[in-house]
Amino acid sequence: MKFRDGMWLVAEGKRVEYAEEIYSIDESSDGKKLSLLCPTMQIRSRGDTLNRPTLTIDIEAVTDGIISVEVTHWHGALNKPPHFELFPGGEPSVEAKLQKSSSGTTLSSGAISAAITSEPHTFDIRFHSTDGKHKLTSLLNRSVALAYDPATSSPMQTSDMREIHHYVLTQTTLGVGEQVYGLGERFGALNKVGQSVSLWNADGGTSSEQAYKNVPFWLSNRGYGIFIDAPERVELEIGSERCCRVQTSVEGQRLKWYIIYGPSPKEVLDKYTILTGRPGKVPPWSFGLWLTTSFTTEYDDKTVSSFLEGMKERDIPLEVFHYDCFWLRAFHWCDFIFDTKSFPDPKSSIARFKASGLISKVCVWINPYLGQRSPVFAEAASKGYLLRRKNGDIFQWDLWQAGMGLIDFTNPAACDWYVACLNKLFDIGVDALKTDFGERVPSRDVQWHDTSVDPGKMHNYYAFIYNKLVYEALQARYGADQAVLFARSATAGTQRFPLQWGGDCESTFEAMAESLRGGLSLGLCGYAFWSVDIGGFEGTPDAAVYKRWVQFGLLCSHSRLHGSNSYRVPWLVDDDDQSEEGCSAVLRKFAQLKCRLMPYLWSESQQAIKHGWPVSVRAMALEFPEDRTAWSCDTQFMLGSRILVAPVFDQSGEVEFYLPTGKWTSWWDGKAIEGPKWVKETHGFTTLPIYVRQGTLLVLGKEGEKRTVWDWRQDVEVKLFEPDAETGFTLFDQEGKELGTLGAEEVNGEWKVSGQDILD
């Protein structure tokens, strides 16, 4: 939201009151917090203290490398829940330090410091590394304010705020060349400078400014990040109102954010996920290939059997089958009851599929809505399990499902009922759940069971409580480390409940690139695991798009074939082309490649959940933060820390990609290229650019491996890529227990693998 008209004028219809000076500073007794009184005019006489608002700015040392900043106008305003669950793993201690000098007061929280000026009639707060080596950002003149819309002309008007919108805003400085990343799964330009961003979950597909996963966290290439502690709608103008500032605004009386110092982007994510939660663990089987029925396609038990048998006949390793929406009866979504006309005995069918080895796990689609046609609707409504309007009516509309209501997860009884419904699915053999939707949550004219909550905050936060409930139900049934979601909506903290997928994209090369940008942005917000609809969701992919998407999708941490009104089994895409470049052969090759990579992927995932880093897709800048070019790469990614992947987005097979400093070895032919360098290649459908970083040791499954899960000490191949004395690989078992480390040593001028005794 813009509050100004250019540099000099206030926007029409708005009134903005800026903090003009730091009048006084109060210290907390423990020395961890400073409270700044900031009038909205310079106080030069006693009369200036009258008839003017003030803003209070509380600056607090939180933990090493993190300082919070909270701006408040009227302290009497309620700060209603919900609030983000911060420090879910326990709050670390902090050693705060206060220093005073003639120039001002400095509060240090480990590696980060905030310096507040003592210059009279001046507003100046600067954030820097405590060692003085790095300037981060600042709050300078006219950078903290309250605003009214419509504009008020007298304080008397604020005695009735029912028709007046009140905002609090801050503007942090953008340095020369500074870039901004993250803010959830955003599908536009990777660098957000120049963009207006509204953090408000919406079901908008992958080709607009709307996003399913709005996360109020952004990462700067200057070695810091900012987490905005606001579940409600947050509006950002990132160099788009003032070119040299990031403006953050919320409607309300207070705005709080945390500045997090790295200095590397990996260290920023590490600290950010201490604050909002580490990514949860996922079981190794979930890395295998998933196949769905697609959305509106006609299918029944016979169709499913034919798909699974077809994959087996073509030697394509398949781990999970997913039943999408129409496993349920029409107009009954989502009451958890199989359509018996299409699936007369789902428990027996699922058991048969698993016993025959066609799949190992089953997933079904669910959402938090309930169509009124189902008898379950009446039950839920009568027991108070559905969200209500303020007049007492059940909130309903006809969007998506006729007369649908929304499960009210602020009601503990509704949560228990919902989990009981899920347990019935687990009883018939369901192992994982696709938690679709959760974005279309009304914020006006509604009354939640928990009457204390703010409906505006509940809109985004609903994604958190919905996915948390389902994830914990899976954990309770299958074990803490065996829970897997395929979730669409998210906000800050939802990384704790993996995994997330990229929403509804078109079946085009352009949408494939949009999806990659979305995954890169989400990964820069602490999400370790991510997937995408292979082949695209909307429309029917031609064979070229399908095969290129297969290559990309099988090199994401998780891989699922999915579509809307057309199937995604390969033989239906190209009339069952039997050549080595046919859809089936390409899918087989890359599914087997992923199986072969499992020891590496599993090792990388252990680091990802420990630190809050993405396994794949990982932005190049996380591995090469000192490389300016790496920050701009949005058509390639790192698969873990050692492997670079550049998907092909063109019918011709031509692809251009960037190799940072060092030697990079082609996965396919072993040729090495010295970076930094832009490279152009042309690839058929059996390859794409995959390059291994210098100094890498990989433990891999044997060529043609078809298993996702096996003992990774056996039936493996160990490969060195331009090794050095620091080269190593830590092997983990399927529970995440460290088995040992392999290294490289030079013997008589040749590099050999050391520590192989950990392998059987």
pLDDT at 376: 93
Per-residue burial over 668-695, b if 16 or more Cβ lie within 10 Å, else e, is eeeeeeebeeeeeeebebebbbbbbbbb
Residue 538 pLDDT class (50, 70, 90 cuts): very high
DSSP helix/strand/coil, 536? coil
Q: What digits encode the pLDDT tens for the residues 263-316?
A: 999 999 999 999 999 999 999 999 999 999 999 999 999 999 999 999 999 999
- Within 10 Å of residue 587's Cβ, how many Cβ atoms? 30
Which whole-number Å values give the CA distances from 393 to 273, 372, 447, in the listed order? 40, 14, 10
Tell whether 119 is covered by a domain: yes
Q: What DSSP string describes 54-92?
A: EEEEEEEEEETTEEEEEEES-TTS--PSP-----TT-PP
CA distance 376 to 369: 11
Arithmetic mean of pLDDT, 477-483: 97
Tell whether 595 is covered by a domain: no
Residue 220 has pLDDT above 90, yes or no: yes
Tell whether 150 is covered by a domain: yes
Arithmetic mean of pLDDT, 11-17: 97
Q: Could you say which of 139, 163, 187 is where a domain stops?
A: 163
pLDDT at 734: 95
As a whole-number percent, the residues of the chain with pLDDT over 70 amount to 100
Alpha helices in 223-280 (DSSP H): 265-276
Arithmetic mean of pLDDT, 522-532: 98
Q: Could you say which of 143, 163, 183 is where a domain stops?
A: 163
Q: Could you say which of 126, 146, 163 is where a domain stops?
A: 163
The token pair at 143 is 């950078």
Q: What is the CATH number of the domain that holds 684?
A: 2.60.40.1180
pLDDT at 671: 97
Per the annotation, the verdict on 160 as an active-site residue is no
Tell whether 739 is covered by a domain: yes
Q: What share of the chain is helix, strand, coil (3-state, %, to 5)?
A: 20, 30, 45
pLDDT at 760: 84
Tell whether 256 is covered by a domain: no
Arithmetic mean of pLDDT, 332-341: 95
Per the annotation, the verdict on 436 as an active-site residue is yes
Residue 122 pLDDT class (50, 70, 90 cuts): very high
- The CA-based diameter of the chain, rounded to the nearest angstrom, is 88
Alpha helices in 135-280 (DSSP H): 265-276
Q: What digits encode the pLDDT tens for the residues 378-434?
A: 999 999 999 999 999 999 999 999 999 999 999 999 999 999 999 999 999 999 999
* Residues 601, 607, 613, 618, CA torsion sign: negative
Residue 163 pLDDT class (50, 70, 90 cuts): very high
As a whole-number percent, the residues of the chain with pLDDT over 90 amount to 99
Residue 237's nearest CA partner among 207, 267, 201, 192 is 192
Q: Which of 251, 324, 431, 504 is an active site residue?
A: 504
Q: Which of 20, 335, 436, 574 is an active site residue?
A: 436
Residue 558 has pLDDT above 90, yes or no: yes
For residue 656, the enclosing domain spans 620-758
Tell whether 587 is covered by a domain: no
Tell whether 708 is covered by a domain: yes
CB 196 within 8 A of CB 240: yes
Q: What is the CATH number of the domain that holds 56?
A: 2.60.40.1760
Tell whether 105 is covered by a domain: yes
What does DSSP assign to residue 294?
A: -
Residue 202 has pLDDT above 90, yes or no: yes
Residue 333 pLDDT class (50, 70, 90 cuts): very high
Arithmetic mean of pLDDT, 737-743: 96
Q: What digits encode the pLDDT tens for the residues 29-77?
A: 999 999 999 999 999 999 999 999 999 999 999 999 999 999 999 999 9
pLDDT at 636: 98
Q: How many domains does the chain have?
A: 2
Arithmetic mean of pLDDT, 338-350: 97
417: buried, middle or exposed (CB in 10 Å: 19+, 13-18, 0-12)? middle
Q: Which of 251, 335, 439, 574 is an active site residue?
A: 439
| Residue that is written with structure tokens 């919108």 in the block | 165
Per the annotation, the verdict on 580 as an active-site residue is no
Q: What DSSP string describes 547-594?
A: HHHHHHHTTSSSEEE--SSS---GGGTTT---STTSHHHHHHHHHHHH
Mean pLDDT, all residues of the chain: 97
Arithmetic mean of pLDDT, 633-646: 98
- Within 10 Å of residue 444's Cβ, how many Cβ atoms? 9
**pTM higher than 0.95:** yes
